[in-house]
Structure 1
């Protein structure tokens, strides 16, 4: 699933980060988050307003977002916190800093300087205890191993890195 963020909002105002493509960054602890939040349609919540003033409409959407966050009882009150959560989820899922930054619409340097410095002790504990431990997915590693000829020592390394047996690596190579 890839989202397209335009350079303009539905209210014809410019977006802070400009046009970009982005991907969901789901923590391994919540792989069903897109379904739970019911956001796959990409439609903004419907808000009925009598005003056509873009500032009034913008404030109404911000208020609705804040009310939803408070209603989740997750100690969040600012919708911008979701960007920080997405970055953390991406980090936990093993998504590279470059990909996370690109998806959020900024540079890796901003990701390093702004997002990481806000990490608390509980965030660090979450990263250490819930992060994906594979450098690349096992199937990708098997593909690389096939390209390299499936040498015996490389099979042993792959088994050790992924915590599987030599036989399991051999079965995957045979597929």
Structure 2
């Protein structure tokens, strides 16, 4: 099914947007939020969809990224031509059928500073300080890598303690 962004409109909350998508013949309205944080003397903009959007596009990450890019352009007051084709929607079965086997011999990191220290073992939710740890890591990068790091981080959508 083809996915198109039909409209992007500001919502009532600041830096929030209502995005109307067509997925095949059906129309769906999703909410997005844009945040800007100061990281290492530079601004880092992140745009992410509501939980329902993330669930709908769990197996369509490229489409989700394309929608987020358009919302980001709208936030920056750049020209956005609508309707805009953003990709093909595939079902979870179609997505799983195209996966290739992956073999990883590495063991997960543990201890201080490891991946497990970022997870609350009792609830399985990401801890509140994940964002602060990420910002601290980026701030310690040499200036020559900072632009590239900010660019990579802008392409990610990370939200601490997202309810399941």
Whose radius of gyration is greater, 1 or 2? Answer: 1
Q: Quick check: which one's helix share is greater?
A: 1
TM-score, normalised on structure 2?
0.21
TM-score, normalised on structure 1?
0.20
Highest RCO, 1 vs 2 (Cα 8 Å, sep ≥ 6) = 2
